[in-house]
C-alpha cells in the first residue's frame, strides 16, 4: 500500500479532490471556484487544488528538488484590482520565493510591463520580506521592500494590486503599502496599453532571496507549499461621464479617493526597509530616476 507521502498516493488524492470539486460545482451553479479562474501553468507534479472547508477551494503550489510551480489567471484586463488570499511557506523557508504579480500575454520580453509582489523566504524566526517592483517597457529596477507586521504563515492574508490610470497601489489586508503614480507629463514610465493576467509562483532563488543569498535553501525540508485562495478581479470603473478608464483625464481626482494617504505614510515609515528612490550608492553616477525627484 502506498504511503500518504508517495507520488502515487498524492496523485490519487489530487484526482479525488478534483472530482469532489467538480461534483460540488455541478450542483451549485452560483458558486465560483478557484480552478475555474486559474490554471496551473508549470510544475504541476505536486501542486493541487483542494477544498478547505465549505465551498472554499485552495491551490497549493509546490516547490521540491525537481521543480517549482506557477499559475495564471484565465482572464486578462486593462486596468483592474486583483486580490488574492495567500498563506506563505511555514518554518524554514529560506531561499524560497512565493509571488503574486501581473503580466501580459505575447509581449516581447524587452517591451513587457509587469507589476510584482514577491515574498522572500526566511530562516525560522525571521520576518518575511515583501519585495515589490514595477516594469514598464521591459525596464524594472523600481524596488521597494517591506517587512510584514504579522506572521504570514499562520493564516491567509489578502494581497492586492490596484492598477488604474492614475496609480499602481500595492495593498496588504486592504492597507496600502506603496503607490506608484502615473506622472507621464514628467516622463515617468507607466503601463497603459498591455492587458495583464494575474500570475503566481513558488520557486527557488537561494542565490539572492534570503539575506542576499547568504542563507541557502534547506532541501531537507521539501516539499515546500504556499497556499492561494479567493482570487478576485474588479475591473476599473471610470468616473461619471467617462467612457472607460483609459479616457480618464489627468486632472481627474476620481482615483485619488481610492488611496488612503495616511495609512500609506504610516506603513512606509514603519515597515519599509528598502526604497530605490533613496539609494544614493546605486544612482551615484547616473542620477535618480525622474519619479524619485520632485517636480
Per-residue pLDDT of the chain (295 residues; tens, 9 = 90+): 443 344 444 444 444 444 444 443 433 334 468 989 999 999 988 999 999 777 789 999 999 999 999 999 999 999 999 999 999 999 988 889 999 999 999 999 999 999 999 999 888 778 899 999 999 999 999 999 999 999 999 999 999 999 999 999 999 999 999 999 999 889 999 999 999 999 999 998 777 677 777 778 888 889 999 999 999 999 999 999 999 999 999 889 999 998 999 999 999 999 999 999 999 999 998 999 999 998 6
Element (H, E) at 176: strand 175-181
In the Cβ-directed half-sphere of 103, how many Cα atoms lie within 13 Å? 18
- For 60, 61, 67, 71, 72, the CA distances from 41, given in Å and listed in that order, are 13, 11, 12, 5, 7
Q: Which three cell numbers stand for residue 279?
A: 539609494
Q: How far apart are the first and last CA of the chain?
A: 70
Q: Decide: residue 67, CB within 10 A, 0-12 exposed, 13-18 middle, 19+ buried.
A: middle
Sign of the C-alpha dihedral computed for residues 207, 212, 213 and 219 taken in this order = negative
**Residue closest to 87 by CA, chosen among 181, 21, 132, 153:** 153
The whole-number pLDDT of residue 12 equals 42
Catalytic residue list = 114, 118
The whole-number pLDDT of residue 144 equals 98
| Domains of the chain, first to last | 39-292 (2.60.120.200)
pTM summary value: 0.88
The whole-number pLDDT of residue 3 equals 38
Put the strands of the sheet holding 196-204 in their side by side order: 38-42, 69-77, 196-204, 96-104, 114-120, 129-135, 144-147, 272-275
User: Cβ distance 55 to 24 under 8 Å?
Assistant: yes
The whole-number pLDDT of residue 24 equals 38
The set of residues, in sequence order, having a beta carbon less than 8 Å from that of 244 and lying 6+ positions away, is 238
Amino acid at each position: 500500500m502506498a504511503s500518504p507521502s508517495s507520488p502515487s498516493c498524492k496523485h490519487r488524492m489530487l484526482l479525488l479532490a478534483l472530482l469532489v470539486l467538480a461534483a460540488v460545482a455541478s450542483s451549485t451553479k452560483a458558486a465560483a471556484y478557484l480552478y475555474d479562474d486559474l490554471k496551473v501553468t508549470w510544475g504541476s507534479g505536486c501542486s493541487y487544488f483542494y477544498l478547505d472547508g465549505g465551498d472554499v477551494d485552495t491551490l497549493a503550489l509546490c516547490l521540491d528538488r525537481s521543480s517549482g510551480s506557477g499559475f495564471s489567471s484565465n482572464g486578462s484586463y486593462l486596468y483592474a484590482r486583483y486580490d488574492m488570499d495567500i498563506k506563505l511557506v511555514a518554518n524554514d523557508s529560506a531561499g524560497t520565493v512565493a509571488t503574486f504579480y501581473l503580466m501580459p500575454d505575447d509581449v516581447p520580453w524587452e517591451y513587457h510591463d509587469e507589476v510584482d509582489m514577491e515574498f522572500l523566504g526566511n530562516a525560522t524566526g525571521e520576518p518575511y520580506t515583501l519585495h515589490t517592483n514595477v516594469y514598464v517597457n521591459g525596464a524594472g529596477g523600481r524596488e521597494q521592500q517591506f517587512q510584514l507586521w504579522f506572521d504570514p504563515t499562520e493564516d491567509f492574508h489578502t494581497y492586492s494590486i490596484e492598477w488604474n490610470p492614475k496609480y499602481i497601489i500595492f495593498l496588504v489586508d486592504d492597507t496600502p503599502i506603496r503607490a506608484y503614480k502615473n506622472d507621464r507629463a514628467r516622463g515617468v514610465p507607466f503601463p497603459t496599453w498591455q492587458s495583464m493576467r494575474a500570475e503566481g509562483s513558488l520557486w527557488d532563488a537561494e542565490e539572492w532571496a534570503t539575506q542576499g543569498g547568504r542563507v541557502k535553501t534547506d532541501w531537507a525540508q521539501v516539499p515546500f507549499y504556499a497556499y492561494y485562495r479567493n482570487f478576485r478581479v474588479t475591473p476599473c470603473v471610470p468616473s461619471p461621464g467617462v467612457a472607460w478608464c483609459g479616457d480618464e483625464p489627468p486632472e481627474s481626482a476620481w482615483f485619488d479617493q481610492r488611496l488612503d494617504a495616511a495609512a500609506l505614510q504610516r506603513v512606509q515609515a514603519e515597515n519599509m526597509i528598502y526604497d530605490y528612490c533613496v539609494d544614493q550608492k546605486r544612482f551615484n553616477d547616473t542620477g535618480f530616476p525622474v519619479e524619485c525627484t520632485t517636480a
